[in-house]
Structure 1
Amino acid sequence: MIDGLIFDKDGTLFDFRISWGQWAATFLRRIASDEGHAARLGRAIGYDLASATFAPDSPVIAATAADIAAALLPELPGMTLAELTDRIDASAGMAPMSEAVPLRPLLEALRERGLRLGLATNDSEAPARQHLQTHGITDCFDFIAGYDSGHGAKPGPGMCLAFVRQTGLQPGRVAMVGDSRHDLDAGRAAGMRTIAVLTGVAKREELAPHADVVLDDIGAIPAWLSGLQA
């Protein structure tokens, strides 16, 4: 039985390529001195400005705002790490996120099953809450944490463990849902089941060895849960 689900955000609730591809192009051009500089900034974070695509090891996929800022900083003399991290957070909160599936109906259906729901993202908590609020789903979650919420970042298990402490659930009856190895490793380290989805950049063959199941997107979770009960 599953009593709770803790979701990653980017690439899981929201389609990664659509959402963050648009954001990266806009943000890099805003902080760059010219188009060539923007392209160099893109390469520093594994993003190709011309094709609007991310390399599989891009820090934007699963790392924190501070990690992204650290990768960009050598191309931005005169800017501090703290200043750049703050600019990334401010910009990220306004990113036009694209829902992987219609979120409100899915989350409400999961709650109607009696499930407790959490969010554990390597994004900062403030922009994460902005994204949830923009899409009208903040109230669907019992727990919301970013890498800066005091529980550590994934692949560490801190956010997952904080979720079970807050809800009183047993880790073995909770599933971590995500699109990256960071998500799945965090869930496993917390003693949870793991659900991989393919709405990020990672491929099925990369995620399958680390997941109990690989689904096309989170819309397939209700059917998977029904299969467990059967």
Structure 2
Amino acid sequence: MSPAALIFDKDGTLFDFQATWGGWSRGMIEAEAGGDAALTHALAAALGYDMQAGRFSSDSIVIAATPPEIADRMLPLLPGQDRAALIARMNARAARAPQVPAVPLGPLFEDLAARGLALGLVTNDAEAPARAHLGAAGLGAAFGFVAGADSGFGGKPAPGQLLACAAALGLAPADCAMIGDSLHDLHAARAAGMTAIAVLSGIAGRGTLAPHADLVLEDIGGLPGWLDGKGITKA
């Protein structure tokens, strides 16, 4: 049965993770290190980031963590730094980060809207940067519900954001599908009682995601085919 609502993750799902955050993260790390080469290396290692390649490792905390969790990983290397100020700097920089769409988003979301689907977005990013990214991508009005990790519903893998989204859209969780690129997304979907759809536009591979998903797609561009029943399977 087709869902009545699709609930999306943001980073690695709407937007290609490495292409978006790879180069940006280098600047963020260098800025926080203040030109100290040893500190730059230590911060990069703590975040699972390869400064030379400009890419995150598959086990990086940044893939699914909230800004406070990322800040807490950095703070032991930044003695004297204020936690709230660090989080605020991270969020302000993130809001300005150019996003690289995983697929052409305009045509896809026009298709989904034409099907009468309710749409939501839940992210472990903060809400303000998320709304800035959606607006820059022309999707500011596409979603009936948007929540970040600081919106009052918790963060993934807990189900709070997803349950709040279903309630806001006036739907039962079982009528919703969650689409994401990480185990946090899939675990949240399971905990909320929703269909769990994995996409491979993040860092985690098929072998990691498939055991926890009802369906694995290369990217969100495969959603119309799935909705049309074109034989896309989990394998």
Shift of the alpha carbon at 1:77?
A: 1.6
Name the structure 1 match of 2:12: 11
- Listed as ranges, the matches of 1:93-172 within 5 Å are 93-172=95-174
For structure 1, the residue ranges without an aligned partner over 5 or more in a row are none
Secondary structure at the aligned position of 2:93 is classed as helix
TM (norm. structure 1) is 0.97
State the Cα RMSD in Å.
Answer: 1.4
- Aligned with 2:12: secondary structure? coil
Structure 1 Cα separation of the partners of residues 140 and 191 of structure 2: 26
Shift of 1:228: 7.5
The Cα of 1:22 is off from its aligned counterpart by 1.3
- SS in structure 2 at match of 1:227: coil
Query: Shift of residue 33 of structure 1?
Result: 2.6
- 1:40 & 1:189 partners in 2: Cα distance? 35
Count of residues in Structure 1 that have an aligned counterpart in Structure 2: 230
Unaligned runs of 5+ in 2: none
The whole-number CA distance in structure 2 between the counterparts of 1:92 and 1:57 is 21
Find the residue that maps to 2:228 and give its secondary structure: helix
Shift of residue 16, structure 1, vs aligned partner: 0.2
Give the stretch that moved more between structures: 197-206 or 43-52.
Answer: 43-52
Paired residue type of 1:143? F
Instruction: Give a deviation string over 1:13-32, Cα, whole Å, max 9, x none.
Output: 00000101111111111121
Residue of structure 2 equivalent to 1:195 = 197
Alignment of 1:15-94 (within 5 A): 15-34=16-35, 35-94=37-96
SS at match of 2:141: helix
Q: Which amino acid aligns with 2:4?
A: D
Show CA shifts across 1:125-175 (max 9, x none): 000001001111010100000011000100000111011101111211210
Describe the superposition over 1:191-223 as per-residue Cα deviations: whole angstroms up to 9, x where unpaired. Answer: 100110000000001100111110000000000
Q: 1: CA distance between counterparts of 2:50 and 2:20?
A: 15
Q: TM-score, structure 2 length as denominator?
A: 0.95
Q: Structure 1 vs Structure 2: percent identity of aligned residues?
A: 53
Provide the C-alpha distance between the structure 2 equivalents of 1:95 and 1:36, rounded to a whole number of angstroms: 25
